[in-house]
Amino acid sequence: MARNDFRFHVTKRVRYAEIDAQAVVFNSRYLEYFDIGITEYWRAAGVHDRWPHHASPEFHVARAEVDYKAPILLDEEIDICVRASRVGRSSMSYLFELHGKGREDLRAGGLLVNVHVGEARGAPAPVPDEFVSLFEAFEGCGLRA
């Protein structure tokens, strides 16, 4: 995707604790970056305003993919780009891209599929319409599959 296909991004600086012996971001950290991105994306879309105190609908990660393209280095600032891409009956899919701050230089891309559950240990449940509406309004398009 082109970077301008993402309406949202958050900037983050790479810290020493996130790198390996070659001063490159360690592979597992990319999923942490996606988690930072999705947390801020939810905030920007209004989830935390609508459901304060983290009482929003409960989702579990069902699938996580990372495609590594180019290294991210110590002390570098990166933009974590996020967008909701699809809503199924009980799942929501998000696309991610990591770029150098303010640049069109794809370092990694990824996909997360989250499944809505009725309670923390519950079975999959339909994604609430009100929740989907927040993301459709934020993205300016329909997301239902």
pLDDT tens by residue, 5-38:
999 999 999 999 999 999 999 999 999 999 999 9
Phi, psi of 47 (to 5 degrees): -60, -45
Cβ within 8 Å of residue 138, ≥6 positions away: 7, 8, 44, 45, 46, 84
Buried b (16+ CB within 10 A) or exposed e, 15-32: eeebbeeeebbeeebbbe
pLDDT at 127: 95
pTM tops 0.75: yes
Read off the pLDDT of residues 100-115 as tens digits, 9 standing for 90 and up.
999 999 999 999 999 9
**Helix or strand (DSSP H, E) at 86:** strand 77-87
CA–CA separation, 132 and 144 (whole Å): 8
For residue 19, give both structure tokens. Answer: 């790198």
Chain-centroid distance, C-alpha 95: 7
